[in-house]
Amino acid sequence: MSGAKIPSVAMVLAAGLGKRMRPITETMPKPLVEISGKTLLDWGLDSLAVAGVERAVVNVHYLPDQIVAHVANRKQPHVLISDEHDGLLDSAGGIVKALPELGTAPFYIVNADTFWIDEGAPNLARLALAWDDARMDILIMLAALPQATGHSGGTDFLVASDGRLSRAKGAPEGLIYAGAAIIHPRIFEGATATPASLNRYFDQAISAGRLFGMQMQGSWITVGTPDAIAPAEAVVKRALAGAQ
């Protein structure tokens, strides 16, 4: 899309309990687990900074004071905290609670437990260039199975020739949701800050023909359990060595 504008705001979903990451997460929240000397949260925030994002809302619930202290001196993006200490709101509910800070323009969402190594142009900038407000309500970043490290499930979406998505239901030719997207806040009109999954909104957008996807370039990494840390660090090492 010509003249596409990079979103200046992002929502970082960081409020999960990280139960599968125990025993590491018995003493720290999962977003502060380090991969190659950088926390999962900072991998995401750094990608947002490279894309030019000025402000990021980070939701917290489990051991929240550690995350608050960690991001306190962050300059770009500037971090605002959305406190969910009263109860987890799931992915969509957390976004709805934060909407007053996210504004009325399209914004990025990023999961705090996945990250990626860009190859070529930054993937979030490419996502913004692909955004078309007239046709889209949600544009998600996708990864092919060979690009993924730490992914134990199947595929999530099938991509039509025009970029529209449908559910893959594990089809081998499908792609994986890579934990990043651009969303227009109009899809949450009338919603309340109660527990709800983004999958509900993905399905609504599919029904309306307004869920689109873009395959990322580079390596995508998800860290769900302690034994996923070593493979993740190996991918980072190879990618950084190849970039030199």
Identify the pLDDT of residue 40: 95
pLDDT of residue 3: 44
- What proportion of the chain, given as a percentage, has pLDDT over 70? 97
Lowest-confidence segment of 27-36, 93-102, 176-185, 234-243 by average pLDDT: 234-243
Q: What is the DSSP string of 86-102?
A: T---HHHHHHHHHHHHH
pLDDT at residue number 4: 59
Domain boundaries, the chain: 9-243
Judged on CB neighbours under 10 Å (0-12, 13-18, 19+), 180 is buried
Is the domain defined by 9-243 classed in CATH 3.40.50.720? Answer: no
pTM over 0.75: yes
Average pLDDT over residues 120-130: 94
* pLDDT tens digits, one per residue of 39-55: 999 999 999 999 999 99
Res 17: pLDDT: 86
Query: In the β-sheet with 114-118, what is the strand arrangement from edge to edge?
Result: 114-118, 218-222, 148-149
* Dihedral (CA of 191, 195, 196, 198) sign: positive
Q: How confident is the model at residue 169 (pLDDT cuts 50, 70, 90)?
A: confident
pLDDT attached to residue 243: 62
